[in-house]
A and B are shown apart, each in its own frame.
Chain A
Amino acid sequence: MDAYVSPQLVGHLLPEILLLAAGTVVLVGGAFHRRGHLWHLVALAAPALALLVLWFQRPGPGAEWTAEAAPLALDAMARFARITVALLGVLFALLVWQREPDRPAEYTGALLLLEAGAMLAASAANLVMVFLALELVSIPSYVLLYLVRRAPDTQEATIKYFLLSILSSALMLYGFSFLYGVAGATHLAAIRRALAATTGQAWLGLGGLGMLLVLAGLGFKLAAVPFHFYAPDVYQGTTHENTAVLAAVPKLAAAVVLVRLLWWATPGLEDLGWRVVLVLALVTMTLGNTLALWQNHLRRLLAYSSVAHAGYMLVGLAAAFALSHSGRAADAAVTALLFYALVYAVATAGIFAVLAAWSQGAKRVETVEDLAGLSRHRPGLAAGLAVLLFSLAGIPPLAGFWGKFGLFSAALQVVRQSPGEVSTWFVVLAVVGVLNAAAAAAYYLRIIGTMYFQEPGPEADQVEPGGGAPLAAWGAVALVVLLGLVPRLGLSGASRAGAALQAAAAAPVSTVAAQTETAPARQARLVSPDSREQ
């Protein structure tokens, strides 16, 4: 049969190949040439090239690549998430570019591998591939955490993250085993078909159990309650740069995998799904925001804020579950979730870029008070930070507003289109959600207020921005403003992704099953309408 390694395939996977190759080159070459600007340049060039390739790539591969045996689904959602990761990769490369590099080359190498992992996770369509891709995100992140160790608390953070991450991977694998046991296959399309065919059978409870375990494993990456405990400690213990990576990439990867694996591949479990996810969303955002209000350490504060944002993302997932539960199109909810993940990741990367830029010199910005009066000494970056924080708070006309708009709109769609009990729950979710958004503004405003309304501290003029971090910050600010003013730039991509999944989900399962016997190569695709044209 067709060889899997075709030129077309190489073309489609070129971004990942580029990143992996660059990462390997840096890791090998780093042994000979340490601490140079050269490796930073490679780390910048690779994702930039990948972004270019992705931008001009036609979405959707040929038929042989979407076959059930194929481990990757290169659909519109994959494209959206891969572009996001490549974009983040460029930002990260600038972010970690120090004025005088003092980190070993392995740092940039690990960063590249992590980005490749996230890209693969975005398109993984097979349980094994999902696990491998997520591990390719996790393992380099241990290296990142370990390489910047300076003090005992950094080591504590590294160990904590390592152990909990392994635990979550194990939980997820355990969940995979249940899904495999129920469906008898590892490919998501096959699982979907099997679960749809067995709806109503008693042993489906095992599928539900598998779903919960997977949710637990991904909840760790998402930093959702009750798997959020590591986030404040780890973020506080490490550097601004590492926090940016940890807060953005695993969350994005987890969001995509959640949609593809939990929502798309498990028909019949929606009823359980929306209940669990809704409660998780409620608790996650409320707890995250409440705890963030009392923090003084910036990274700890933003850690709780990132927990809260995980809660908002879960609103989208809950809405998607509930809509499919009542047989409605859920593409708007998926769109909102993906767009939110993009906006959150960019804004978070930008915020830590500003903080990193201000921590290059002798004086490091660590607590909220350290920001006092910085608008006076660093007006440009301070304004940038304010814009990014307002975006996270969801103030129009910034990108964050459209993110929240999409999510709460999806929740109200459920209210409108679902019967009694479901509808009541989603009213509660929407009301608690918007009130949370307002409460979250309190701590963002505290940061901005300290920056703008307080007199500068004695050491404020020693804050010297440097390296590539200011560039990364400006890039993020530009994106946040642009996506806010012209939301269709990001939303149309996300909405194509949602529509593609919806179309694949709406394809009647029985026909797919019938095709299985007749045309094995064309069975159960994860295809977008675009790829059908080809």
Chain B
Amino acid sequence: MSTWLIVSLALPLLGAALAAGVAAAGYRVVRCVALGTTLLTLLVAGYLAFQFPADSPARITLEGAPQAEPFALWEAQWFGSPEGPVDIRFSLGLDGLGVWLYALSALLMVTAVLISWETITHRPGTYYALLLLLETGLLGVFTARDILLFYVFFEFTLLPLFFLIGIWGHEERRYAAVKFFLYTLAGSVLTFLGLLAIAWWCASQHPQGVLSFYLPTIEEQLRRTPLPAELQWWLFLALFAGFAVKVPLWPFHTWLPLAHVEAPTAGSVLLAGVLLKVGSYGFVRFCLPLLPAGSAAWMPWVMWLAVVGILYAALVALVQWDIKRLIAYSSVSHLGFCMLGVFAMNRPGLEGGVLQMVNHGLSTAGLFSVVGMIYARYHTRHMAELGGLARRLPLLSTVFLVLVLSSIGLPGLNGFAGEFLILAGAFNRGWTAPAAYAGQLYLLAALATLGVVLGAWYMLGMVRQVLFGPLQEPVREEGEPHPAVRDLRWYELGAVAPLLVFVLWIGLQPGFFLQRMHSALLPLADRAAVSYYRSYAQAHLPAKNKEQKGQPQGEKQPRAEEAPPADPAR
């Protein structure tokens, strides 16, 4: 038992109460409270993340180390008891899947506070209190080790963001806030039902019939006796409803550009940086391990949705004139990459997918911050009204350019590491697939690669328009030049500088980050690959298998140990 995690969750709560309490003292005081709280939380989260043990892939086998020990475990009984009839625990812990997303949330919170430093003067007490509440929710989502606790945090994150968008957003804020909330809720209630059904199924298998929501218990039980394949097919659909809206996968993405554009900068930063990851995290946390056969059955569909999303969002981004909207669509496109990697269901794909979640969080959050800074100076997001800003704002432009390059996947920056692994995973899935599927998978991977090109196109087009060329600033009054604007202030630099550090670090040394994911992701990927083979390869390639293995096996019901070995990824 370690108290660090609960401390990191409680700190923002206390900070929120404090921020609401000193609201009368004005925004200058409140923002300091918020900054202090987020920095302290970041300190705790950073300490935990860098204490997290690294692992080498060689040590990890499918049977040997099925699941790494949870790190920084903190547990209390929330409702019921382990002996039943209901077992709900307040259990927090870090594993390789959650650790970087947890740290990312803590980091982006500091960015969110700093980016609001001067721009939020309207009802600052409520604003910062909501921001800090959101932090508790987010840190909870990525550390919860109980299905119900996860769902509680998952839904709880909606509340602060709903108010953040609705009160401090732009013109269409009310519509955007309600649409965001309802869309996400409508999906997630079905997810809830799916998770409940999984818990009930496990309860009916449990010797004492305990209805347990404790994730390790459920995982272990499902590993022993997996859910029937047909049930998994349906339950995957239920879980998909909530997570796909959250990711968002095409065609469930329509709430996202609206919410992004209308949200205040900090809202966009957090929405793009962390909240979208909750969806893809949910797929990796619940769908792959609990419903392996269901995931395998739906794999081609999800991959197609992901690739269509990549291309569609990129094409839509190409024709945007609003910078914020362009970045919002680029988010949809990039999240498509994450999903493609996750559903390649092999080692490189899965690790790349999770790494890309972090990458996207860093670069897109940074881009939204910079757009917010430009908006704070010129009160426009219209590309045609801006031009040649590199001359007026050299520092800001440099930061902007680095983030853009990271986002389009320039080698040496973080985006490349993630996208490369994802595409490698996708192609790998193609050449290890049965012939009937290989063509389709190659096509998917090739189309996704085309998405990278499109990404570079719209991003660099935007950079050319906004940063280079003749200086152009929005006209306020006819004939009057725009009043002078200042380059990055200290707090703005503080908001984006840490992001740049990690953009470079992940780009140059991705192994440092991947090593800490191995313990959780590699066994997961291997198990997912096995279930993939069970679903596809054996049904379609009985002859080839017999040749390779030299032993006949049942065509319909292969046993686990007879499945082909996992992908030789590295």
Whether A235 is near chain B, meaning CB under 8 Å from some CB there, is no
B295 to chain A, nearest CB (A): 21
**What's the least CB distance linking A347 to chain B, in Å?**
16
- In the bound complex, do residue B166 and residue A434 qualify as a contact, i.e. CB atoms below 8 Å apart? no
B504 within 8 A of A: no
Chain A residues whose C-beta falls within 8 Å of the C-beta of B558 in the assembled complex: none
Chain B residues bordering chain A, tally (CB within 8 A): 34
Q: Cβ of A442 and Cβ of B182 under 8 Å apart?
A: yes
Contact between A441 and B185 (Cβ–Cβ < 8 Å)?
yes
- When the two chains form their complex, are residues B200 and A415 in contact, meaning their CB atoms are under 8 A apart? yes
Q: Are A453 and B166 in contact (CB under 8 A)?
A: yes
Point out the residues of chain A lying under 8 angstroms from B173, CB to CB: 453
Question: Which residues of chain B from 188 to 245 have any CB-CB distance to chain A below 8 Å in the complex?
Answer: 189-190, 192-193, 196-197, 200-201, 203-204, 211
Give the CA-CA distance A401 to B159 in the complex, in Å: 14
Given A434-B192, A438-B186, CB of A396 within 8 Å of CB of B200: no
Q: Is the CB of B152 within 8 A of A491?
A: no
Does residue B301 face the partner (Cβ distance < 8 Å to A)? no
Q: With an 8 A cutoff between CB atoms, is B52 at the interface?
A: no
A431 adjacent to B190 (CB under 8 Å): yes
List, in ascending order, chain A residues with CB within 8 A of B196's CB.
405, 408-409, 412
User: In residues 42-87 of chain B, which contact A (Cβ within 8 Å)?
Assistant: 78-79, 85
- B167:A452 contact, CB within 8 angstroms: yes
Q: Which residue of A lies closest to B203 (CB)?
A: A416
Question: Is the Cβ of B152 less than 8 Å from the Cβ of A396?
Answer: yes
Q: Across the interface, name the chain A residue whose C-beta is closest to B202.
A: A416
Q: Main SS of the interface on chain B?
A: helix
Contact, CB under 8 Å: A441 / B177: no
Q: How far is it, in angstroms, between the C-alpha of A380 and the C-alpha of B159 when the chains are bound?
A: 17
Question: Which A-chain residue is minimally distant from B85 (CB atoms)?
Answer: A332
A405 contact set on B, CB distance < 8 A: 148, 196
Complex interface: chain A residues within 8 A of B378 (CB)? none
Evaluate contact between A412 and B200: CB separation under 8 angstroms.
Answer: yes
Distance (Å) between the CB of A531 and the closest chain B CB?
Answer: 22
Residues in B with CB closer than 8 Å to A412 are 193, 196-197, 200
Complex Cα spacing A405 to B79, Å: 13
Q: How far is the CA of A439 from the CA of B181 in the complex (A)?
A: 11
Residues of A within 8 A of B152 (CB): 396-397, 401
Query: Cβ of B158 < 8 Å from any Cβ of A?
Result: yes
Q: Taking the complex as formed, is B174 at the interface, i.e. its CB lies under 8 A from any CB of chain A?
A: yes
Looking at the complex, which one of B156, B163, B193, B200 makes contact with A397 (CB distance below 8 Å)? B156
A417 contacts B193, C-beta separation under 8 Å: no
**A416 in contact with B186 given A390-B159, A453-B177, A488-B79 (CB within 8 Å):** no
Instruction: Given A412-B197, A415-B200, A491-B79, check contact A453 B174 (CB 8 Å).
Output: yes
Q: In the complex, what residue of chain B is closest to A488 when comparing beta carbons?
A: B79
Would you give the 0/1 interface string for A189-217, flagging 1 where the beta carbon is closer than 8 Å to chain B?
Answer: 00000000000000000000000000000
Binding site for B on A (CB under 8 A): 332, 379, 390, 395-397, 401, 405, 408-409, 412-413, 415-417, 430-431, 434-435, 437-439, 441-442, 445-446, 449, 452-454, 487-488, 491
A-B contact pairs, 5 of them (CB 8 A): A396-B152, A416-B197, A435-B186, A442-B182, A453-B167
Q: Which 7 pairs, one residue from A and one from B, show the smallest C-beta to C-beta distance?
A: A434-B189, A396-B152, A438-B186, A453-B166, A453-B174, A416-B200, A438-B185
Known contacts A395-B156, A396-B156, A412-B200; can you find 20 more A-B pairs with CB under 8 A? A395-B155, A395-B158, A395-B159, A397-B152, A397-B156, A416-B201, A416-B204, A417-B204, A434-B193, A445-B178, A445-B181, A445-B182, A449-B166, A449-B177, A449-B178, A452-B167, A453-B166, A453-B174, A453-B177, A487-B79
